[in-house]
Amino acid sequence: MRALLGEQLSPEIARELRRRGCDVDAVTERPDLVGASDEQLVELAGREDRAMITNNIRHFRPIAAQRLAQREGHAGLILLPSTRARNRAAIGPLVSAIQAIIDGNPDGIHSSERWIASLE
């Protein structure tokens, strides 16, 4: 499974996932994506077959739901609480949790979502 890390999240997460062999891009590392709307990111992630990793649950879940209602689908969402994403000490456990989802879903999580609720 491929993924795209939202711009609110540290690009260090994407770098560490790549060091572990995962195909993950970060929005902040791609000049063509910086400043793109959430709708544009979901569409692009779908075209690139990348699940969207985000802590912006309030915006991305409705976008995904609307796409499903319109039978457009999406490449999947990996959702995490915003408090975890902003805690620098949580990067290692967060990377491990994301990697577990990626490794456990080699064919992707199309039109569905996975939650990272606890990093303990």
Choosing among 3.40.50, 2.40.50, 3.30.1490, 3.10.20, the CATH entry for 2-115 is 3.40.50
Task: Find how far residue 99's CA is from the centre of its chain.
Answer: 11
C-alpha span between 27 and 29 (Å, rounded)? 5
**Each residue's pLDDT tens digit, 36-56:** 999 999 999 999 999 999 999
Amino acid occupying residue 81 = P
Q: Where are the domains of the chain?
A: 2-115
- pLDDT of 119 reads 66
Model pTM score? 0.92
